[in-house]
Every structure is written in structure tokens, then in C-alpha cells.
Amino acid sequence: MEKPIVTAAQMKRCDTYTIKQIGIPSLVLMERAALAVRDEILNALPIYLKHVVVVAGSGNNGGDGLAVARMLKIAGANVTILNVGNPDHASKEHQVQDHICQYYRIPETNDPSVLNDATLIVDAIFGIGIDRPVAGHYVDVINAINDSKAAKVAVDMPSGINTDTGEIMGTAVKADLTVTFAFNKLGLTKNEGQQYAGRVIIADDMGTYWIDEHESHSDQNS
């Protein structure tokens, strides 16, 4: 079967089915996602590991980023985590990954000035979840990312790009490379999403099960 290009709602439905019905834990999917990003960075961008800054939101996309930070640290990179989300709203998976990063003594900060001397920036702020214009402190952080001369890698989606339409939600990270998970996203194929994603890598060996709407309804009614 030809791989589908999905919306945010379709991707979330597939993840939910994979986690709840098949039984693959969310943290396992997160580890697979992080491995895909790590591998692409080590293979395609090894000269940029002098100072990696992982910009992490408080949701699962941020959790993906924290796992990437740990894996790059283990691989020998100099890594700093820039936390931009609200810690009070951190997902359970994010909290687990943050605990592991603390064990590995990866420096964490809330100060965006750490971006000034970054050689590689990993964007893990929003992922596919954004559904409103970027506002507040996030605008300043995204603008600082774009102003940096560092190479930029987006985790799943460039933060600020609408997953369904490819439109800029006020402002967005302009990535050199986007590693997206399981299936390509509609927003990476249209409007500004194509330009802001840079080169797109589809990590399609995640174990995420494709479920169409008919299957989803049948499963809910069974």
C-alpha cells in the first residue's frame, strides 16, 4: 500500500490506536522517533555537533527532543536543552525524558541567549499539535532560532507550521531538515510548509499502525 500523507487528526488517531489497541507504549514510540532524528543528524550533519541546542516545549514533541538530546550526548555531542514550555503542563512522557536527561547531567536553561553560540538547533517545540497562532515568549524564541546561523533540524514539523495546511501560524521555524514520523504530513507538502521544512525525511519504521476512518469507527463500535 502506498504510504498516506496525513493530517494532524489522522496521525493522532494512528498513534492512539498503536498505543491503546496494539499496546506499543508511547515512550517506545518516542524512543524510536528520537533515534530517527539522532541517526539523521549523525549521518547528515556531523560537523555541527560542537554545540547542539535542543529547544523543547512541554508536550510530547518536547519529550522527543529531550530524548534526542540524551542520545546526541551519548554519541559525544556537546548538548544544551533550552526549555520553552510550561513545566506545569508537561506531559508524563516529557517528565520521564526530563528525569533521564537530569541523570545524564545535560545542562538545561530557560535563557534563549544560549542560541547565540549554537552550531545546531533541534526544534522540538510544538510538533503536529499547534492549532492557534504562535504567541508570547514562543515568538521571541522562534525568531531567535531563525536569526541563528546554526543548522536547524525540526522534529516532526517545523514549529509554527500548520500540520494540515502548511500555513505559517504567525511565525514558524525555518528548518534545513525535518524528520517526520511514520507518515508524511500534509502541511509539509503545501504552502509555506514546503519551504520551511527544508529537506524532509520520513522515518517510516516507527511501528505506528495505519488506521483509516472506517477501521477507527468499526473499532470504536466493537
Q: Write out the three cell numbers for 67.
A: 530524548
The angle at the Cα of 75, spanning 69 to 80, to the nearest 5 degrees, equals 30
Candidate from 129-133, 146-150, 203-207 with smallest mean pLDDT: 203-207
- Residue 201, strand partner residues: 179
Q: Is residue 101 part of a domain?
A: yes
What's residue 221's pLDDT?
Answer: 39
216 found inside a domain: no
How many distinct structural domains can be found in the chain? 1
Domain membership of residue 219 (yes or no) is: no
Residue 120 sits in which domain range? 5-211
217 within domain boundaries? no
CA angle in degrees (0–180, nearest 5) for 21-179-107 = 95
Q: Is residue 134 part of a domain?
A: yes
CATH number of 50's domain = 3.40.50.10260
- Cβ burial, residue 138 (10 Å; 0-12/13-18/19+): buried
Using an 8 Å Cβ cutoff, are 116 and 75 in contact?
A: no
pLDDT at 222: 36
Nearest to 11 by CA among 219, 210, 220: 210
pLDDT digits (tens, 9 = 90+) for 86-136: 888 899 999 999 999 999 999 999 999 999 999 999 999 999 988 899 999
90 is a domain residue: yes
Average pLDDT, stretch 57-76? 97
Q: Is the pLDDT of residue 207 over 80?
A: no
CA torsion through residues 210, 195, 49, 144, sign: negative
- Does 142 score more than 60 pLDDT? yes
Q: Considering the domain boundaries, does residue 47 fall inside one?
A: yes
Question: Does 221 fall in a domain?
Answer: no
